Structure 1
Amino acid sequence: MSVRPNFKQLMVNINVCMTGFYMGGNLAEAMLEFQRQTGTLPNEFFDKLKVVTTHLGYPRKKTIFRIGGSTSRQQRFKCDEFGGGEISVEEYFKRKYKITLQYANVLPVVNLGNKDKPNWTPPEICTIPDNQPFRGTLPDVATAAMIKVACNPPAFNANLIVQQGFTRLGLRGDNALLNNFGVSVDPEMTVVPARQLPPPKVTYKSGPLRVAGGSWNILGVKFHEGGNMSNWAVLLVQDGRRNEFQGPSDPQLRAFLQGFMEKCRSSGMTVGAPPTIMQTARLPSPAQDQGRRRAIDIITNTLKQGLDPKKKPSFVLVLLSGIDKFIYPGIKRLCDMQIGLQTVCMLLDKATRDKGQDQYFSNVALKVNIKLGGINHLLAPESMQWLLSKKTMLVGIDVTHPSPTSLKGTPSITAVVASIDDKFVQFPAALQIQRNRNIDKNAEEMVQGLVAGMVDRLNMYRQKNKVLPDRILIYRDGVSEGQYGLVLEKELPQVLEAFKKLSTPGGKPYRPTLSIIVCTKRHQTRTKPTNTNDMTKNGNNPPGTVIDRGITDIYHHDFYLQAHFCLQGEARSTHYIVIYDENKLDANTIQCGTNNASYMYARATKAVSLVPPAYYADLACERAREYLSRLMNADDARSTTSRGDPEAERIARQRVYDEAARQWGEGIHRDLRHTMFYI
């Protein structure tokens, strides 16, 4: 819930939010159940979990610092109370509190102290209080179950807010505090005006297609420009799972590849002879190969030995038999940064199913064609007029920061993507790491090296078109409401400085007109249609719904746009805010133009919820996280810090940053910098 200023009034914004909660009860029983279901006891699952102990004769609430590596029988500590020698946790609790532990040699102890002063406690004397939210990342099974509960239609959420939310939030008329200030909240939801924008015309090589409900069918159509896959390769990653092919001569593999080749050929791509097929040796199991480092070495050697360095394939199709948090990032880092190979991964569990295989192949063909520089679809000229009236470059900018599970000292990563021609299909990316406040308290959280990123994008545009763009539209993702001013203060000057680094053929200073539009999806504003004739079957607004009055900002030029069709749950519009505008974009131009651009996303046959330049920048950031995955997704992010010693902690974080810089090296391989390798 939040209170927001509006024209001549204040408005209360309420949304339904859901998260996973720990089940109250004995900690040991919870650990045993979690271990039974997952086979592990990760620190992040119990990170910052509050427990209550009563062995002192009164309830005492403490926070788990971490799970120990020893059981109560194994963990020993010096105890002055019983002679000054070492004693096990099990024996201590038996002698001190007359407690006989049931799981003394089964479960690890938990540290209820800190790193410097550990307080090793048996989990069976700890109780998890009720109503405690889980702050980490849910396991896949739990996430799937959570989605089923949380994906409710708009009407359900609206009734929940009005019937239960008002009372629980204290917004009814019996709230003495509100009454004393003479404040009341209307129990009826606000009705605001909206309009539905028409979809653009989508065209393929064979002509325009019918767009309905924000999507279209590409059955039997050819890409506008097909990529060349006459020289490609396949890598079989043998990880010991059931659904793997048996080798290059496996008849099932040959039939599988023939089906994929036929799909690419029928889509308009140039397909030559069958691919070169490489097969890894059997990878050592995760239990025998901590962090799968030996497995990555085997994959590296297989690629280097199986490929001709003088004639690299246009791409490598990697066939994976399962999801692994080390293998996939390792392959992407190897091929994107070291070898310079385009890679497309398929999960065999999905790719080999008879039902839906044709659609799966179609989706992969979309990615392959874009990676090879092709063009899947275009918008008709009349739908692109707002971009074609002048030489225009669309730019997407995003920043991704380390998560709570990242090692302290892990850098942030910035992505700048930009169109390279008037077709607005190819958006190569410039990526770089930067310091953040976890490393340096004085570091800026905004994009720091934007000058180099923009100069690089503009030079690539000029290389393709022989001229520089006359105007630039930047879609900036990942900016919160309180950071609009920082974009203008910290990032705008860098963009203007980049312009000064370039010049026009006549030697005149280069200065295009510039607009900056912030895109926000992480907001709590939700809307539902008031008329059944204006809603989709699941009760959401139809694609193209735009709201620019009633709930928008008082001072900024902003609007909410739902360009996509929501398949399940309640649709969330993207909030677009124009914070800088030299192009003098009127409301209709920017709203219709952004809606049309949402149909330009190359990897889908439907409109997407976020305008593609911002979407691509987000994808590039996510890909870059894979390159530093061992730092970004550490098993125990706290192990590198020395609490209580600021200087030691600073040195430890700097060491992590230096390791990240070493792993990053020169960044993306030069052979991929002009491509959409990240899609």
Structure 2
Amino acid sequence: MMESVVVIEEAAEVTDLPPLPGIEKAAELPPLLPLPPDVPPKFDTEQVAPTVYSVISRQGVGTVGKRIPLLANHFKVAVNVPDATFFQYNVTVTSEDKISIESKGIRRKLINRLSQTYSSELGGKSFAYDGERTLCTVGSLPLDKFEFKVLLEESYAKHSTENPGANGKPHEETKRSKRSFQSKTFIVEISFAAKIPLQSIALALDGVESDTNSQDALRVLNIVLRQQAANRGCLLVRQSFFHDDSRNFNDVGGGVTGVRGFHSSFHLTQAGLALNMDTSTTMILKPGPVIDFLLSNQNVREPRNIDWAKAKKMLKNLRVRATHSHQEFKISGLSGKPCIQQLFSMKLRNVDNSNGVQTVDITVFEYFAKHCGIQLTSSAYLPCLDVGKPNRPIYLPLELCSLVSLQRYTKELSPMQRASLVEKSRQKPQERVKIVTNAVGDYCYDDDPVLAACGISIERKMTEVEGRVLETPKLKVGNNGECVPQNGRWSFTKKALLQPSQIDYWAVVNFSAKCDTSYISRELIRCGMSKGINIERPYTLIEEDPQLRRSDPVTRVENMFELLISKLTKEPKLILCVLPERKNCDIYGPWKKKCLSEFGVVTQCICPVKITDQYLNNVLLKINSKLGGINSLLAIEHSGHLPLVKDTPTMILGMDVSHGSPGRSDIPSIAAVVGSRCWPLISRYRASARTQSSKVEIIDSLYKPLDNGNDDGIVRELFLDFYESSQRRKPTQIIVFRDGVSESQFNQVLNIELNQIIKAYQHLGEVDVPKFTVIVAQKNHHTKLFQANGLENVPPGTVVDTKVTHPRNYDFYMSAHAGMFGTTRPVHYHVLLDEIVAPIHYAHHAAAQMGRFLNFDDLSEASSVTSEGNVPIPELPRLHSNVKSTMFFC
């Protein structure tokens, strides 16, 4: 079975690429003529003021579909003191020598100590504090400005020769060695910033006030939720929190553990203020001995096999606890020599002269044996952890150090880790309903003093809401056959492709020692015949030289291409590449770059664990799409009756930005846009991508004037391609699907990105601007829908546009897929602009695949910071002209 999306009323999130609709016969389209010399025309250099757009309001609700009772994980909130006012204060924290303190942990401890020490000076007020620079109270503090000295005891730090100190030296033996704690004084300044009336929430619900004040009030309420979790010692990740409880831990391999927690946040909805409560999962480093972590992380059996350069990079800034002293430290690096050889200078009293100090050089190994009574074993010949400062190292043997729990792991997961996480963290609907409902009661949010001062009370049951299940669209397949998806899925096992491609000259390359390429090619040919694809025998089958398998990925790819070119007599239509492991292996990026950017040939990568007809069918669906074939077609499109599109040249844009893993701010983000082509089709796309500044979500390369060199922006080339492939018709209406932006960025999508698209269109000499519909699709949210009995997922095609949606904006939730495992996650759609009326998934794939063209680890090590303090952004290699118009990203 192949999961897909076939929805007419709204678009949907896609977890696997769907079969692609098209036309019955390519010959039905008139031949494309070359562009005349005056296309593109001379540019109009006159500056036109950009249109200012606002997010549209909801005009009504939908009526199509069978109605169904549902539950949503929103819990109704009552506000019994609606005239309460939040007073917001700015907080600055410095040491006595005026150094700013940025640590959230220390700041929270200081504010907690301050509230205990100076309660009467602060009028006995309870705080909502975000751990940074914002503190809020219900009602005002006695004064607008305060300055307090707060004494904070640091973690256990016994001053004795029990542990090496600065420069690897133990602290000098003095009377201070009897003190158990170090105390330090901090200066905390609190100054009034703003008033935030709680009534703004009620006004926003009534539609009589802008979102600004109500969003500020919601922000304060959400700060309260985070503060509660912080006070319980939880790990905080935005509005999610995670307890240090091994019952919630799931080992996913590589020294990484998935930890299950909760998400909680307040929202404005049509039904009023609501608490959204959901389960959540994040990744942490597996707590325990550092040596065990390194062995697991690098997948080696013995410490002598550890790559210490990688270990140093992985361990930097992690927190460890020394088991012999119970102190916590932050790792700054590794020692240059093994523990048994690493020397440091140690100061001791001169026995003969009570006033003198003797300096001796001693190894870390000898120090722990003689002065601590600890005989080191497993780490004697391993490097030590350096937990000191750059010029004042403090060395700790590895076997005496354990990783502190709840430290986030922010690197990208391997395919095996991701699969393990999905398997271990999924929850059935009835399990999630029970856990979430119990959590709302267990955390007693009503008892929080700040929320209590607002008179806030929260219901203990989920919100009942009505959904609509849309009718399942029919598909047209080959041999004039039809297909009706069942439960959001359909199979091509016994069906032919609508428009199969032909493969007469192709090659197979094999990087894997485990696969029989002769068998694979024979089975692919056999399976292709059943689908209507005529596949000739491959011209050549090339096996990698076993001696090259330990070379770096680029070398392996270059050698394979040299051998391939020497065997071929002409340009192949397809290269089938057998990878040594799943497609996220190191070879994948260099291979795709070589094929798509330099060589200009369609390629399909596979790594079959078991070769079955189902596997081969799915591979053939991808190959057929990449070669311009048509797998299936919506029946309504095949009949020529697709609403809105059939009579008006319509272009569909899907836009997404792919970012590096959370811990990598040194690599660029990849912005990708796919544009539809071959109108009146709606499912044939071409992709275009660019790099941009790291972690920047708004796309800055949609439009660029031609005079800047060789790049004229993403959208212009997509417009020209639409014109070339659509019978020389220009789009008069454009539908934009945008993924990955939050509500706070909606205006930027409309007034930056949309205006760039309009400028690119006008720069081609066009005066009349097309009509636009702009839709944002959000997948990373925490609203879940359940059938009314709480036991089952909602059926595919379920739409909800009442009660749990925005009180004013035009948004809706839709579950287009069947929830086969775990709980269905609906996509949250926001219609920002509608002058007309699943491409964002293709944009996501294009951004991810082209991002693999670049070796970011090499770039990170080689890059230098510019004079402005920015990391230079490398350009993506351009796609070869042979493949730039194909759906290479399938």
- 1:98, distance to aligned residue in structure 2 (A): 4.7
Show the counterpart of 2:624: 369
Instruction: Point out the more displaced range, 449-458 or 19-28.
Output: 19-28
Structure 2 partner of 1:64: 331
Alpha-carbon deviations, 1:237-288, whole Å to 9, x = none? 2x5x3x233xxxxxxx4343122112223212233344322333224344xx
Is the partner of 1:398 in helix, strand or coil? strand
The Cα offsets for residues 596-644 of structure 1, whole Å up to 9 and x where unpaired, read as: xxxxxxxxxxxxxxxx20000000011012111x21x57x96x679xxx
Report deviation, 1:99.
Answer: 3.6
Aligned to 1:13: 276
**What is the Cα deviation at residue 650 of structure 1?**
4.6
1:179: which partner in 2? 452
Say if 1:165 and 1:672 are closer, same or farther in 2 by CA, change over 3 A. Answer: same
Q: CA deviation at 1:447?
A: 0.5
Residues 251-650 of structure 1 aligned to structure 2 (within 5 Å): 253-286=517-550, 289=551, 291-308=552-569, 311-323=570-582, 325-351=585-611, 357-381=612-636, 384-404=642-662, 406=664, 409-420=666-677, 421-436=679-694, 445-451=697-703, 452-465=713-726, 466-503=728-765, 509-531=767-789, 539-583=792-836, 585=837, 612-628=838-854, 630-631=855-856, 650=866
Structure 1 residues 320 and 9: CA distance shift in structure 2, 3 A:
closer
Q: Match for 2:504 among 219, 230, 233?
A: 230
Residue aligning to 2:112: none
The answer on whether the counterparts of 1:410 and 1:657 sit within 8 Å (CA) in structure 2 is no
* 1:90 counterpart letter in structure 2: F
Residue 153 in structure 1 maps to residue 428 in structure 2: yes
Larger strand percent: 2
Contact 1:201 1:380 in 2 (8 A): yes
Seen in structure 2, the aligned counterparts of structure 1 residues 4 and 457 have a Cα distance that, compared at 3 Å, is same
**Superposed CA offset, 1:320-354 (max 9, x none):** 24347321222111111111121101214333xxx
CA distance in 2, matches of 1:50, 1:435: 30
Task: Name the CA shift for 1:154/1:341 in 2 (closer, same or farther; >3 Å).
Answer: same
Go from structure 1 to structure 2 and tell me whether the alpha carbon gap of 1:273 and 1:143 turns closer, same or farther (over 3 Å shift).
Answer: closer
AA aligned opposite 2:632: H
Secondary structure of residue in 2 paired with 1:17: strand
Q: Report how far residue 431 of structure 1 moved.
A: 1.2
Instruction: Give the aligned partner of residue 885 of structure 2.
Output: 674
Q: Which runs of no fewer than 5 residues in structure 2 stay unpaired?
A: 1-263, 349-356, 704-712
CA distance in 1, matches of 2:530, 2:576: 18
Tell me, in whole angstroms, the C-alpha distance in 2 between the residues paired with 1:302 and 1:560.
52
SS in 1 for 2:279: coil
Compared CA separation, residues 139 and 409, structure 1 to 2 (3 A)? closer
Distance 2:562 2:763 in 1: 43
Further displaced range: 328-337 or 366-375: 328-337
Aligned to 2:163: none
Verify the 8 A CA contact 2:811 2:831 in the aligned structure 1.
yes
The alignment status of 1:211 with 2:475, answered yes or no, reads no
Structure 1 contact 51–128 (Cα < 8 Å) conserved: yes
Output the CA distance in 2 between the equivalents of 1:67 and 1:489. 50
Calculate the TM-score normalised by the size of structure 1.
Answer: 0.80
Task: Note closer, same or farther for the CA distance 1:453–1:139 as it changes in structure 2 (3 Å cut).
Answer: closer
Query: Mean alpha-carbon deviation: is it higher for 341-350 or for 452-461?
Result: 341-350
Q: Which residue of 2 aligns with 1:198?
A: 471
Residue 304 of structure 1 deviates from its aligned partner by 2.8
Amino acid at match of 1:449: S
Task: Tell which structure's C-alpha radius of gyration is larger.
Answer: 2
Provide the C-alpha distance between the structure 2 equivalents of 1:621 and 1:114, rounded to a whole number of angstroms.
40
Q: What residue identity is the alignment partner of 1:670? A: S
Contact 1:196 1:545 in 2 (8 A): yes
Q: Could you tell me which residue of structure 2 aligns to residue 657 of structure 1?
A: 872
Moved more, 64-73 or 228-237: 64-73
Q: Distance in 2 between matches of 1:384 and 1:12?
A: 40
More helix by share: 1
Q: What residue identity is the alignment partner of 2:701?
A: G
Amino acid at match of 2:365: E
1:652 shift after superposition: 12
Q: Is the 1:402–1:412 contact (alpha carbons within 8 Å) kept by the matching residues of 2?
A: yes
SS at match of 1:399: strand
Query: Equivalents in 1 of 2:515, 2:519: separation in Å?
Result: 14
Q: What residue in structure 2 maps to residue 605 of structure 1? A: none
8 Å Cα contact 1:499-1:510 kept in structure 2:
no
Q: Aligned partner of 1:456: which letter?
A: E
Kept in 1: contact 2:288–2:403 (CA 8 A): yes
SS in 1 for 2:777: strand
SS in 2 for 1:430: strand
Return closer, same or farther for 1:176/1:347 CA change in 2, 3 Å cut-off. same
Q: Given residue 205 of structure 1, which amino acid in structure 2 is its aligned partner?
A: G
SS, match of residue 15 in structure 1: strand
How far, CA to CA, are the matches of 2:826 and 2:409 in structure 1?
27
Cα distance in 2 for partners of 1:67, 1:405 equals 21
Q: How many matched pairs?
A: 597
- Secondary structure in 1 matching 2:729: coil
Q: Is the CA contact 2:473–2:484 (under 8 Å) kept in the aligned structure 1? A: no
For the residues of structure 1 that align with 2:659 and 2:599, how far apart are their CA atoms?
26
Using the TM superposition, give the Cα deviation of residue 84 of structure 1 relative to its aligned residue in structure 2, in angstroms: 7.4
Distance (Å, rounded) in 2 between the aligned partners of 1:391 and 1:142: 45
* 8 Å Cα contact 2:410/2:663 also seen in 1: no
- 3-state SS of 2:689 partner: strand
Residues 370 and 376 of structure 1 are in contact (CA less than 8 Å); yes or no, is this contact kept in structure 2? yes
Q: Is this contact kept in 2: 1:29–1:124, CA < 8 A?
A: no
Kindly indicate whether the alpha-carbon contact (under 8 Å) linking 1:429 and 1:676 is maintained by their aligned counterparts in 2: yes
Measured at CA, do residues 567 and 49 of structure 1 come closer, stay the same or move farther in structure 2, by a change above 3 Å? Answer: farther
Say whether the 8 Å CA contact 1:640–1:652 is kept in structure 2: no
1:51 is matched by which residue type in structure 2? V
RMSD, aligned CA = 3.1
Q: Which amino acid aligns with 1:303?
A: L
Give distance in 2, aligned partners of 1:448 and 1:671.
27
CA contact under 8 A between 1:477 and 1:614: conserved in structure 2? Answer: yes
Q: Answer whether contact 1:234 1:278 (CA < 8 A) is retained.
A: yes
* In 1, Cα distance between equivalents of 2:501 and 2:359: 75
Measure how far apart 1:159 and its partner are.
0.5
Q: Distance in 1 between matches of 2:493 and 2:735?
A: 34
Instruction: Give the CA deviation at 1:234.
Output: 1.1
Indicate if the aligned counterparts of 1:413 and 1:431 stay in contact, CA closer than 8 A: yes
CA 1:203–1:68: 2 relative to 1, 3 Å: farther
Within 1, Cα distance between the matches of 2:634 and 2:390?
59
| CA separation of 1:35 and 1:365: change in aligned 2, threshold 3 A | closer
Superposed displacement of residue 105, structure 1: 3.8
Q: Residues 502 and 509 of structure 1 are in contact (CA less than 8 Å); yes or no, is this contact kept in structure 2? A: no
| Distance in 1 (alpha carbons) for counterparts of 2:270 and 2:762 | 41
Aligned-partner Cα distance in 2 for 1:468–1:114: 63
Paired amino acid for 2:591? I
Partners in 2 of 1:448 and 1:215 — Cα distance?
A: 37
